[in-house]
């Protein structure tokens, strides 16, 4: 099977129970949508109904609920669409494989089109940043701007710490890994996804020289203390590959409190 799926009907029920529990602690969406794409229907939650549209792409297995309280911040003055990434745990249902960055970029484009949005500002956190960058490279027609929040494997690969710790998860467990990668976060949904869902993600490798062709406005923020990569090196590479990008290294870890910075960038980037 080349598409992600739950391990069983019982596994899906267990996952959905945790999904509901986590969402109960998030802002209430104004609308729930299942957006058709050629890779399968994609679950999207709309917050707000005014201002330039933002499409929020989450970190791996975090789902739209991974934005937590930030959903209210991003929808202040904007229509924010939070997405359950297709091919990962969540309520999106994958029906066709996403094999590479080009497919992932096409999926993002189809989601934006399916929302009825002429041009959207993409906001991608962690792995969601890689997805947003894939769209900027391979399907930029409906993108007004791209904001990347400590994007993983976008300009440089994962750090050695990620690789060796991932190799030890069979012994130490995924909770041990996740607490190292982002201390203080709520990992209930991510852990439930790891247990209950069989993901089939496209290989996440740096986009490399393909980024040189990006023409849309780009904001790239990196956390100096992020454990997932060498942030300074990632930032330098972004400046080299996308000279027009606004690139900053913040004194923080992998999670960035960036809603205000993104809003200012979006306001200057136009519709």
pLDDT by residue for the chain (271 residues), tens only, comes to: 589 999 999 999 999 999 999 999 999 999 999 999 999 999 999 999 888 999 999 988 899 999 999 999 999 999 999 999 999 999 999 999 999 999 999 999 999 999 999 999 999 999 999 999 999 999 999 999 999 999 999 999 765 555 434 444 543 445 544 554 555 466 788 888 988 999 888 889 999 999 999 999 999 999 998 888 899 999 999 999 999 999 999 999 888 999 999 999 999 997 6
Rounded CA-CA distance 117/128 in Å is: 19
Task: Give the ranges where 61-145 is alpha helix by DSSP (H).
Answer: 70-74, 101-114, 127-138
Residue 123: CA count within 13 A, CB half-sphere: 29
C-alpha closest to that of 262 among 74, 112, 76: 74
C-alpha closest to that of 136 among 116, 122, 126, 125: 122
| In contact, 174 and 63? CB cutoff 8 Å | no
| In contact, 168 and 190? CB cutoff 8 Å | no
Note the Cα 156 to chain centre separation in Å.
Answer: 17
Rounded CA-CA distance 232/264 in Å is: 23
| In contact, 235 and 251? CB cutoff 8 Å | no
Rounded CA-CA distance 84/57 in Å is: 8
C-alpha closest to that of 125 among 236, 261, 268, 264: 261
User: Which residues pair with residue 220 across a beta bridge?
Assistant: 148, 247
- Cα angle 128-133-135, degrees, rounded to a multiple of 5: 100
Q: Domain 5-269 sits in which CATH superfamily?
A: Alpha/Beta hydrolase fold, catalytic domain (3.40.50.1820)
SS3 category, 5: strand
66-69-75-79 Cα dihedral, nearest 10 degrees = 30
Query: What pTM does this model have?
Result: 0.92
| In contact, 253 and 182? CB cutoff 8 Å | yes
Handedness of CA 46, 51, 52, 57 (dihedral sign): negative
What is each CA distance from 230 to 127, 148, 254, in whole angstroms?
15, 15, 11
């Amino acid at each position: 099977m080349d598409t992600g799926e739950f391990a069983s009907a019982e596994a899906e029920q267990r996952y959905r129970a945790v999904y509901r529990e986590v969402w109960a602690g998030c802002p209430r969406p104004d609308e729930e949508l299942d957006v058709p794409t050629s890779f399968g229907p994609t679950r999207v939650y709309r917050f707000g109904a005014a201002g330039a549209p933002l499409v929020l792409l989450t970190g791996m297995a975090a789902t739209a609920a991974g934005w937590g309280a930030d959903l209210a911040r991003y929808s202040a003055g904007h229509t924010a669409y939070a997405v359950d990434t297709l091919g990962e745990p969540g309520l999106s249902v994958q029906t066709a494989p996403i094999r590479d960055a080009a497919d992932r970029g096409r999926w993002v484009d189809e989601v934006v089109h399916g929302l009825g949005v002429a041009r959207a500002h993409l906001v991608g956190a962690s792995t969601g940043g890689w997805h947003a960058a894939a769209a900027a490279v391979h399907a930029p027609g409906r993108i007004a701007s791209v904001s990347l929040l400590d994007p993983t494997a976008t300009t440089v690969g994962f750090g050695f710490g990620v690789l060796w710790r991932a190799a030890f998860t069979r012994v130490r467990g995924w909770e041990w890994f996740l607490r190292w990668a982002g201390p203080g976060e709520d990992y209930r949904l991510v852990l439930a996804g790891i247990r209950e869902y069989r993901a089939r993600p496209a290989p996440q490798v740096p986009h490399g020289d393909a980024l040189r062709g990006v023409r849309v406005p780009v904001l790239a923020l990196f956390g100096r203390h992020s454990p997932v990569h060498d942030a300074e090196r990632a930032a330098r590479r972004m400046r080299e590959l996308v000279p027009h990008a606004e690139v900053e290294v913040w004194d923080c870890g992998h999670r960035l409190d960036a809603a205000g910075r993104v809003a200012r960038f979006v306001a200057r980037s136009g519709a």
